[in-house]
Amino acid sequence: MPRQNYLFTSESVSEGHPDKVCDRISDAIVDLFLKHEPDARVACETLTTTNLIVLAGETRGPASITNDMIEETARRAVRDIGYEQEGFHWRDAKVQIYLHEQSMDIAQGVDSTGNKDLGAGDQGIMFGYACRETDSLMPAPIYFSHRILQSMAKARHDGSQPAFGPDSKSQVTLRYVGGKPVGATSVVVSTQHADGLSQEEVREMVRPFVTAALPEGWMCPEDEFYVNPTGKFVIGGPDGDAGLTGRKIIVDTYGGAAPHGGGAFSGKDPTKVDRSAAYAARYLAKNVVGAELAERCTIQLSYAIGVSKPLSVYVDLHGTGQVDEEKLEGALRQVMDLSPRGIRQHLDLMRPIYERTAAYGHFGREPGADNSFTWEKLDLVGALKDACA
């Protein structure tokens, strides 16, 4: 029997965290290429440090996309986050670009030729997860960690709390009783701030954002509410700590509440199953829970580079299922084409929709009017119920 009473913790980081700055730039480059060519290929990694942005990787797209356009895109992403600091400024940072053509050895495995369908862009395993802890069918600790930082960022951008800096982190520990979250036992928030503020002043600036993000009565005890535990956080972002694309994969997904296959998402076009198949696995898991076939659902998919079908589909309903797991595995293949091409077409992924995924999680977000976050839709509920009947 799984444990019913325990504490569980998840963390989030803001859009201004050094690693998230890199994720944002990398995804902005993906969007730039997809905007000009839906079949473009991009694998863009970013490094940031004090007034330096370095881009490296492989692309395949129209010659009309110049390095000047790429540099402008990177600077605009940093400007939109809000970095205008002496040690890291969207206008003053040096931008170095080391992007080259995609390897033909990789391209021949992915591209369709003759009777060969589009293959996966790499081998790997991907996981999707959903549960009934929140309305978004996300685990509660990561959901509330994101909400705290999102609300703080909104206040910074709209000017209602200008003393906040772009770089921040949150960590929420929840108590579970009978397998369900019932309240916070500790909350940690570290936020970059204007110089001259005391730790206590920053603490009281942060407090209303935490209490508003948590359900009523869930706030942790006062001595377990930690704000800027080191005491001062003025130098932040890439000036304080170097950043790299793809170093916050648990923040991006389920906060440690579910397995992770190890592959990062940002900077990769949707032919890379690290991204597209992880989105598909979340989509299917969410629809399984939405269809009331289980209270919790974990799905694993696996792929081989150049192969146009999943090598395996695995479902774990954690003892909460209303249907046989082996039967459900067959039903998932029935309701959705899980080939790389099928995933991209079903979820309409070959579009410039990725920059906004770079912070506050790729999952648990509202599908947009522009058909973004399609993997969060619950439009397979009826088909799954029918397939499992």
Active site residue 268: yes
What stretches of 178-228 adopt beta strand conformation (E)?
180-193, 225-227
Active site residue 248: yes
- Of the candidates 8, 20, 24, 269, the residue annotated as catalytic is 20
Burial degree of 195 (CB within 10 A; 0-12, 13-18, 19+): exposed
Is 33 annotated in some ligand binding site? no
- Of the candidates 56, 163, 242, 383, the residue annotated as catalytic is 242
Is 169 annotated in some ligand binding site? yes
- Of the candidates 37, 71, 117, 241, the residue annotated as catalytic is 241
Is 232 annotated in some ligand binding site? yes
- Of the candidates 41, 156, 169, 296, the residue annotated as catalytic is 169
Active site residue 169: yes
Active site residue 180: no
For residues 170 and 151, what is the distance between their CA atoms, to the nearest angstrom?
A: 12
- Of the candidates 248, 286, 296, 362, the residue annotated as catalytic is 248
Active site residue 241: yes
Is 264 annotated in some ligand binding site? yes
Is 45 annotated in some ligand binding site? yes
3-state secondary structure of 281: helix
Q: What Å distances lie between residue 194 and 14, 82, 232, 236, CA to CA?
A: 17, 14, 10, 11
- Of the candidates 37, 39, 56, 58, the residue annotated as catalytic is 58
Burial degree of 130 (CB within 10 A; 0-12, 13-18, 19+): buried
Is 39 annotated in some ligand binding site? no
- Of the candidates 75, 268, 296, 346, the residue annotated as catalytic is 268
- Of the candidates 8, 11, 15, 17, the residue annotated as catalytic is 17
Is 168 annotated in some ligand binding site? yes
Active site residue 348: no
For residues 47 and 55, what is the distance between their CA atoms, to the nearest angstrom?
A: 7
Is 239 annotated in some ligand binding site? no
Residue with tokens 């036992």, as numbered in its chain: 185
Is 327 annotated in some ligand binding site? no
Give kind and range of the element (H or E) at residue 176.
strand 164-177
Active site residue 318: no
Active site residue 27: no
Is 241 annotated in some ligand binding site? yes
Is 167 annotated in some ligand binding site? yes
Active site residue 20: yes
For residues 363 and 350, what is the distance between their CA atoms, to the nearest angstrom?
A: 18
Is 268 annotated in some ligand binding site? yes
Is 386 annotated in some ligand binding site? no
- Of the candidates 41, 247, 286, 296, the residue annotated as catalytic is 247
3-state secondary structure of 296: strand
Is 248 annotated in some ligand binding site? yes
- Of the candidates 274, 295, 316, 376, the residue annotated as catalytic is 274
Residue with tokens 């970095």, as numbered in its chain: 83
Q: What Å distances lie between residue 110 and 277, 344, 348, CA to CA?
A: 15, 13, 18
Active site residue 355: no
Q: What Å distances lie between residue 374 and 42, 216, 333, CA to CA?
A: 21, 31, 18
3-state secondary structure of 169: strand
- Of the candidates 19, 31, 239, 269, the residue annotated as catalytic is 19
Active site residue 233: yes
- Of the candidates 60, 147, 272, 344, the residue annotated as catalytic is 272
- The catalytic residue positions are 17, 19-20, 45, 58, 169, 233, 241-242, 247-248, 268, 272, 274
Annotated binding site for ATP: 17, 167-169, 232-233, 241, 247-248, 264, 268
Annotated binding site for L-methionine: 58, 102, 241, 272
Annotated binding site: 17, 19, 45, 58, 102, 167-169, 232-233, 241, 247-248, 264, 268, 272
Annotated binding site for K(+): 45
Annotated binding site for Mg(2+): 19
